[in-house]
């Protein structure tokens, strides 16, 4: 926090450079798995699956009612998706911690600079105050001299 060093950093860019390929993939999966686009596309996929096995392939469905294969795929997806989302949340927590540390450092630097400015203002005010007193004393002496030199009527 010495001198004029700049504390404003883009923590996200620095953090993203340290991520492995697997962590980046996990983040993308977590982002897409928590989106409305994923929910709608997944609902459409299940609707098509059920429709295909109920009406279009009624004579020879590959997954007849109660859609055991679909349930198996959904269970596998949930088993894989949950840990991936948790890994993404862990990394988000790391980012938040880094951001909080950076904010604390910036706040500390701002506080130190405000203190330094206040000290300078106090010093200048005190110095100016003494000068103003001297100027006022000189003015008062000049005023007294003027009164003495002026004749009274």
pTM: 0.55
Consecutive 10-residue runs of the chain (153 residues): their mean pLDDT? Answer: 60 77 82 85 93 85 90 92 85 88 90 94 89 93 90 68
pLDDT, residue 86, reads 86
CB 19 within 8 A of CB 91: yes
The alpha helices in 52-67, defined as continuous H runs, are none
- pLDDT score of 135: 93
Q: Alpha-carbon Rg of the chain, whole angstroms?
A: 37
């Amino acid at each position: 926090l010495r001198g004029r060093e700049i504390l404003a950093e883009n923590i996200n860019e620095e953090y993203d450079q340290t991520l492995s390929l697997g962590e980046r993939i996990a983040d993308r999966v977590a982002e897409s798995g928590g989106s409305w686009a994923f929910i709608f596309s997944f609902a459409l996929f299940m609707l098509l699956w059920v429709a295909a096995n109920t009406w279009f392939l009624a004579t020879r469905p590959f997954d007849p009612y109660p859609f055991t294969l679909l349930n198996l795929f959904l269970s596998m997806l949930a088993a894989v998706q949950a840990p991936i989302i948790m890994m993404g949340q862990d990394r988000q927590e790391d980012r938040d911690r880094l951001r909080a540390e950076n904010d604390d450092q910036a706040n500390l630097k701002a506080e130190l600079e405000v203190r330094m400015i206040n000290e300078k203002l106090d010093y200048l005010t005190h110095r100016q105050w003494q000068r103003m007193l001297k100027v006022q004393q000189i003015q008062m002496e000049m005023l007294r001299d003027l009164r003495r030199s002026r004749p009274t009527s």
